[in-house]
Structure 1
Amino acid sequence: MDSDALSSQMTISNREFIRSLGLALLMLSVSALVLGTGYLILSPELASHQENATRADPRPWTFSGGDLIPRLGSGKATEENYLSITRLDQGIDDRAIFTRRTNLKAADLPFLEYRITDRNPGSSFYLIWRRADSPEEVFNSTIHWADDHASVIQLSNNPDWQGTITEIGLDVYGDLRDQAPVVEYLKLAPSQQNLLARAIWNEWTVFREWTQRSAHHLRGTLETPILSPTLAMAAWAGLALLLLFFLARIKKQSGFVSYIIAVSIPWIALDMLWQSNLSKQLDETQYLFAGKTQSEKHLADWESDLYQYAQHLKKSVLPAPGVRIFLLNGEPHRTYKRLKLQYYLLPHNTFNFDQYPRPGSVQAEDYLITLGEIEGLKFNADTSRLAWSQHSLPVKRLDHGEHGSVYLYEGKR
């Protein structure tokens, strides 16, 4: 085959690819338009909002950050009447609370639009409220970190968002990291199609903390997400493929390349959502752990309190490695927390299996660690015995605190 013929075939192939790409993009556009419009028009969420609303035309309620009153921690109003959070109260949790009185119907205002700038992933924000039917109880909904963008969440997904709301505000935990987050506004809004669309987008794009499943699973930010991004991308590609199939039947030609493109673009879009969250997690991981020793990394990690407890036991309570340690917990199986404590106690020889001691297995000079409260397991300080069911062991309690207790079995008395 001469070079001119080869060039001609390549030119035809390039034209065919461009035609297939254009056709796939057109069908994907039609698919997105049909599915997006159809979902917003026929959305069960919007139908539920209309059914539950107490007024035909409720008005939105907008609170500037400066309207919130400090109840715990410190903040100041800016010139724009925004709230600048300057300090969290030190305690078991570093915390600040800002609220104001209200009188509104939750069913009329299913969406929250908010803008909070200068946040970081190390701080946790919650919308909090009280209801007329339960004035002493405080309810909450997570406000996820979304950089400095204005965002929307659907409050009606929270079963506690109901009745008459008498007080509303923000509960802030964590580490401000030498920043002063600025609450510009909170806006409670009635049901609207554009707010539902923004709430879905917010749910797909806000930062989600990395979990053991994150490498293979893109989850929503709510226990009951509005719309799964995986399902949405599958529907987007599926309808585009169906449209391409019918078009190919009408024109009596194959559209194989268009089919591949119509599947690849939604797949790549889904992967980009995952990659966006991964990039934010990489930045957060670098901030938390870069340049630190192994001990400092453990102290910066989620289970820092458990790590400090393990260090306390190793330095002040337990002898040198070589003794046997039985780790007990309220769950009969090995939960993540008890496995983590076992890891932190290395190189100690820790048996991590049961909810209660095994009387036939425990020997003199063995140690027992109870992680948290264990139902049915009681220590009698008067008799120095650890009792459960029909059994008991003579023990000496060596340590007792928030995370658990440590006992030494000295043998039969």
Structure 2
Amino acid sequence: MQMMNENDFLRLVDAGGSAASPGPSPQAVADAFDGARLTQARHLASLTKKELAEAIGVSPAAVGQYEAGVTRPRPDLIPRIAEVLSVPLPFFIHGRPHGKLDGSMAHFRSLRSTRVHQRAKAVAFVEQVWELTFALEKRIQLPYVDLPGFAGGEVQSGSVLPRDPVDAAKALREYWGLGLGPISHLVRHMESRGIIVIFSKDDEDSVTVDAFSTSSLPRPIVVLTPNRFDDVYRHRFTAAHELGHLVLHGDAAAGDMRQEREADAFAAEFLTPRDSILPDLPIRADLRRLAELRQVWGVSVDSLLYRCRELGLLSDSAASRAYQRLAALRGQPGFNSEPITGFPGENPVLLSEAFDLAVNHTDLTLRSLARELAWPISRVRELIGIADNRPALRLVP
């Protein structure tokens, strides 16, 4: 089969099947079928090969052959596959950009509790985030990726930060000109440096995955789950943790618990530098004082307690007793969770503002972008962060 480019893809999408069914015909889709797109859609739908096979009336081996490109599905199967996976028919056509990843290219915050199918779904989500970014970047200029060592999906060995997580955190603070005090608007800082930050879909799989990141695509991408705890302090630490992965582990395969510990150490030093936070910390477990400090430094009381123990201000037994007292104070003023929505600088806006800019300066529309990506419009809305404000019709039986 002759390989198509993006223009060929769009011509085929626009070719039309019939007056009753506009768009490419099932035969046209079958002739240009991309097995990798089937894999991506299946992962996004959280279906196994067996489950998809049962839904469309073929064997699991046949699905495997479709995905491997050994055979193509019959034209009469194409509409059913698209229906089961909730994608338009053109989704499966070869020719448009595809940022392919595998599980070893993404670092997962909740490594031990994340199952294989959840990682596969998360990776497919990141692939689509990159495809959306690529489509927008053809029209408008996004911030330059200003991350030491990163060069369009590859790590430049001559310009990486120190390998030690504490030293790396100090070096990145200096490189970004952040000084030695508290960092406000962490997510906005990351976006201004060209890092794509996005909230994951609010579903059970995403909540389990928690957060993840990759530096294996032309732009570094960080995915955060806003509703697992809906606490801005934990959210900021998680964002800093993923930033640690980007600067420390861009050239290493993911899946190592040592890397998770290093990312935690990076986040702690990046958000609360030892030399700056040490004079502020109490020499005993004064929870009220730590509650005041969380407002200043933007990290949780739990993190500050851990920092006190880590810096030798508290013994393990004293810290353990403090955590027990802290558990009894949950929900009280100073110890309650603060929703992320109340902190605009910690909410990602890069993709939504890029879309708005492209709409205002080019002929881009939501519908044309969905056509180009071969996604449902609802999917484009979801990734850009556009709320569907249409009134919902409800029928009472």
Mark yes or no: TM-score above 0.5: no
Larger radius of gyration: 1
Quick check: which one's helix share is greater? 2
Q: Name the TM-score class by shorter chain.
A: under 0.3
Quick check: which one's strand share is greater? 1
Normalising by structure 1, report the TM-score. Answer: 0.26
